[in-house]
Amino acid sequence: MTDSSKVLEILRQMAQTIEAHKEELTELDQPIGDSDHGINMARGFQAVEQKLPGLEGKDIGTVLKTTGMTLVSTVGGASGPLYGTAFMKAGMETAGKNEIGLEDFLKLLDTAIQGVMMRGKAVEGEATMLDAMLPSLKAMKEAFAKGMSTGETLRAGVKAAWAGAEHTKDLVATKGRASYVGERGLGHQDPGATSYSYLLEAVARAYE
């Protein structure tokens, strides 16, 4: 089981991961976006990190909801509302809970992804973060059904997320800023799919 202090530790790891890959994420955004994905995400997660001491002892739902609200108010562009929605939906799914298991995690991720789809009016195959999110969830559900451990299940998710992010190079974006460049975006990996893959990697690392 994962308690709220473990969730705070994971969020710290997420912030450090985004900070470490900030320049790479911004470079990915240059040909197809506003050249600011890494900068924006790092700013958002820095703000989240500053809030964490005040969230000690709070339930997991409150921690995730606060994270989402912080991201919405500090991350510019489309990523703020999308990631913010994902965390807020996850917070609603875990409201009042002080502990969650792997099955709960898969449920909250499912709810978070539904939130992103609704907010972004996007589906899989449009070169967005969903192209990493949906395959990772599917892989983790399959691993969980086979009775794999939390660590193994998360690793299966990370592997599928990176394969999905890589696949965005072959897709023509029809949503978001990248859709403005149309076919010129081919060959470029979606920054949102990449940042999601890094965030899921941070979660997996916490269970190694």
pLDDT 10s per residue in the chain (208 long)?
A: 999 999 999 999 999 999 999 999 999 988 766 789 999 999 999 999 999 999 999 999 999 999 999 999 999 888 999 999 999 999 999 999 999 999 999 999 999 999 999 999 999 998 899 999 999 999 999 999 999 999 999 999 999 999 999 999 887 666 565 555 556 656 679 999 999 999 999 999 999 8
User: Which distant-in-sequence residues (6+ apart) come within 8 Å of 162 by Cβ?
Assistant: 132, 197
Say which CATH number the domain at 50 has.
1.25.40.340
Amino acid making up residue 21:
H
User: Which distant-in-sequence residues (6+ apart) come within 8 Å of 136 by Cβ?
Assistant: 157, 158, 160, 161, 164, 196, 197, 200
- The predicted structure's pLDDT at residue 17: 98
Amino acid making up residue 23:
E
Question: How many separate domains does the chain show?
Answer: 1
Neighbours of 104 (CB within 10 A): 16
Q: Domain of 142? A: 2-205
